[in-house]
Structure 1
């Protein structure tokens, strides 16, 4: 096998001009070989490449590995960055925690359309398949790893997935490459290592082509998954609104199997880690079908699933900002807390607020609606903010995350919702940009 030809053929499928190729570089034989292949590809294509080493602090040898990886990257003419991470298990396995921290660190170096190279090979595919089988996974889990997977707007590419561990080690020896050996890879307390050292050798001894058969089964499962999602894609699009919520009425109109798959597809679309089968049932029975006067929610690893106005919403974890407040000045951008973006009270000739009215008191932003009332310009009377939020259809979990513009003791406006009738005008505007603002 010509390993470079295999590598370059796969990279060519996803590489485009201005694409950066980022290598997840641990220094093990798999990523060490990838570094060597990437250096050849870089010279051939003049590609922008970066090797990233993630230091977990789990081994006393990690500092030494980092130094070696940096040396090898420099020798290969590839830029190198080391990222130090701290692990917080939160009840997860050490393997899962380290994997999540690693990908969070790698994401920092990925822009849209960039490629992230990882060194999984066909033996890893067997391990992933058997672990999924041990968990009782369906076709989705048994699809194991694909050649390419989306990671936000970037793409994970596994160019060695059809190559065996033995072929990779043979290439490394032929090229005279050095690599590091992680002592934890010998610890059979970890499920993956147990399969690697005690199960896979027996299976391969009995059936020499077992790895190829597993890869074929994984590919068939992946194809079936893609077909199912292709057939349901139109229904999903019809049921998902611009705010990302999912229509419960649509879910009620399809079969139980289709409903479960649509919810899974929706959660994946919202970047929520896939829940267990039990949790999937609870989303439907305890949240979607809860009593109409209830405010149901289900906690998942990445947040909550909630219901409002006959739609399902995913709500990520957020801080309590009820007590946060800040003075605001016209034409000065205000940064809001907890990733809520920026706010700008801007003077302009075609606004909806009155600067004269706003000059009658001290201006500030708060998120606490407790005890406050307002008289929206389009309404005939004043109401408590709690009632107004209900009338305007604001979900309960968003009601303390909407910027309230106060003028003295009076509510002047709520960003993106309404302006109080006392503060309407034409020479000022309240702009809430959840991403960024250019003045």
Structure 2
């Protein structure tokens, strides 16, 4: 137990700690280890077992006895038969924890040595590279939550012996033996056979994971050095330079670059598409969509940007100017602001106020002169991806302003755009 406490202090200087407490053996072991520390606990009821209410009451009872503050929250999982059930449950669980974790608080979980080996086998099943085969990290961030796994090098056997010796009550969830789920299948069907044949299997698996971790760090080091020579900015790569880099290095650079910009790991198929359709295809302005991001070729550059829903030909009517106008696609809203320096003509009594987006052709202004948006975009150096969703102000179909850009009195906000009128 002292070793675990030292590990927690070594990995983080954060004093605030919250334990993901299921009531099972592993989290119970951690709970009792940390009794004398300032700690909170959170229990998530998945409502997947008829006994889940009894387990919640058990967690309440134990925490009350040990004088530990406990948060109890519920999650409800749809499509239970779906293959991605485990990842769906994990994501919902962490989303719920995120809402209740305090600033500068670290989450402790009960993952142990056996869990690591199960993760290795799952990674082999998926065909993962060195990163996947290096297993779960002792300390990591997930959904902006700092997570520490202090038991990651402690065996299940050792934890079980402690529970028997100290006669500590814990929940034994028999549904965990449901081998429909991959992890349970590995735990109860695969690992026992491997350990019976080779009693050193878990020990050597951890060695392999450590070697993969080292190899991944080495690859990362060389990629970081290489990417400096071929990138203009964080989201831009010189197309000419990357084209003539060794294929293996190029593929690893692309993986690293996309992960850095999107937080997504991409498949080998995605890499092949980028090579074939963007890097080596002479056709201009080609694009590839990966999740909610677009990778495109622009002149001699490979560019990555967030996918934006187009608002072309969309017209919004603002009949009540005293009320905020909600913009589409989570772009924010417009609000009339009396406090701002007045730089926009106030609409006349019967004038219709319209908001349009990225309108093409010549625009007729209030002074009965024509202007093109192209000139405005160039003058104010507005990038193509910003142009699509920038709101344009019209009175009776006469162009007044590009909100936040063309008029100097208005700042461009991501969540809120303010207007002011000239009296």
TM-score by length of 2: 0.81
Residues 300-325 of structure 1: CA distance to partner in whole angstroms, max 9, x if unpaired? 3xx23331523332436879795666
Which one of the candidate residues 3, 6, 12 is aligned to 2:3? 6
1:269 match: 260
Alignment of 1:309-348 (within 5 A): 309=298, 310-315=301-306, 322=314, 338-341=329-332
Residue 177 to residue 409, structure 1, CA distance change in 2 (3 Å): farther
Once residues 74 and 237 of structure 2 are traced to their aligned partners in structure 1, the CA distance between those partners, rounded to angstroms, is 38
Measured after TM superposition, the shift of residue 247 of structure 1 is 4.7
2:94 match: 103
Once residues 242 and 327 of structure 1 are traced to their aligned partners in structure 2, the CA distance between those partners, rounded to angstroms, is 43
1:85 match: 75
Are the equivalent residues in 1 in contact too, given 2:293–2:305 (CA < 8 A)? yes
Whether 2:186 is the aligned partner of 1:195: answer yes
Residue 250 to residue 154, structure 1, CA distance change in 2 (3 Å): farther
Alignment of 1:162-177 (within 5 A): 162-177=153-168
Question: Which of 271-280 and 81-90 deviates more?
Answer: 81-90
Query: Any gaps of 5 or more consecutive residues in structure 2?
Result: 419-423
Whether 2:414 is the aligned partner of 1:429: answer no
SS in 2 for 1:270: helix
Measured after TM superposition, the shift of residue 381 of structure 1 is 6.2
Residue 74 to residue 240, structure 1, CA distance change in 2 (3 Å): farther
Are the equivalent residues in 2 in contact too, given 1:344–1:432 (CA < 8 A)? no
Residue 381 to residue 359, structure 1, CA distance change in 2 (3 Å): closer
Alignment of 1:288-367 (within 5 A): 288-289=279-280, 292-300=283-291, 303-307=292-296, 309=298, 310-315=301-306, 322=314, 338-341=329-332, 354-355=343-344, 357-358=345-346, 366=355
Measured after TM superposition, the shift of residue 241 of structure 1 is 6.3
Once residues 235 and 63 of structure 2 are traced to their aligned partners in structure 1, the CA distance between those partners, rounded to angstroms, is 42
Once residues 264 and 215 of structure 1 are traced to their aligned partners in structure 2, the CA distance between those partners, rounded to angstroms, is 25
TM-score by length of 1: 0.78
Residues 20-60 of structure 1: CA distance to partner in whole angstroms, max 9, x if unpaired? 32222222111111122232332xxxxxx332222322222
Measured after TM superposition, the shift of residue 142 of structure 1 is 1.0
> RMSD of the TM alignment (CA)?
3.8
Question: Which of 30-39 and 102-111 deviates more?
Answer: 102-111
Alignment of 1:392-431 (within 5 A): 394-395=383-384, 399-407=387-395, 409-415=397-403, 418-419=405-406, 424=407, 428-431=409-412
Alignment of 1:146-157 (within 5 A): 146-157=137-148
Query: Any gaps of 5 or more consecutive residues in structure 1?
Result: 43-48
Whether 2:212 is the aligned partner of 1:221: answer yes
Measured after TM superposition, the shift of residue 11 of structure 1 is 1.0
1:129 match: 120
Question: Which of 93-102 and 122-131 deviates more?
Answer: 93-102
Measured after TM superposition, the shift of residue 274 of structure 1 is 1.5
Residue 57 to residue 237, structure 1, CA distance change in 2 (3 Å): farther
Are the equivalent residues in 2 in contact too, given 1:143–1:220 (CA < 8 A)? yes
Alignment of 1:206-245 (within 5 A): 206-236=197-227, 244-245=235-236
Residue 368 to residue 182, structure 1, CA distance change in 2 (3 Å): farther
SS in 2 for 1:430: coil
Residues 277-315 of structure 1: CA distance to partner in whole angstroms, max 9, x if unpaired? 222222332355555444422343xx2333152333243
Computing the radius of gyration from Cα coordinates, the structure with the larger value is: 2
Are the equivalent residues in 1 in contact too, given 2:43–2:73 (CA < 8 A)? yes
1:182 match: 173
Whether 2:24 is the aligned partner of 1:28: answer yes
Residue 290 to residue 231, structure 1, CA distance change in 2 (3 Å): same
Alignment size in residue pairs: 409
Once residues 146 and 182 of structure 1 are traced to their aligned partners in structure 2, the CA distance between those partners, rounded to angstroms, is 26
Question: Which of 23-32 and 287-296 deviates more?
Answer: 287-296
Once residues 278 and 313 of structure 1 are traced to their aligned partners in structure 2, the CA distance between those partners, rounded to angstroms, is 17
Measured after TM superposition, the shift of residue 168 of structure 1 is 0.9
Residue 320 to residue 70, structure 1, CA distance change in 2 (3 Å): farther
Residue 189 to residue 260, structure 1, CA distance change in 2 (3 Å): same
Which one of the candidate residues 12, 16, 20 is aligned to 1:15? 12
Alignment of 1:282-293 (within 5 A): 282-289=273-280, 292-293=283-284
1:72 match: 62
Measured after TM superposition, the shift of residue 411 of structure 1 is 3.9
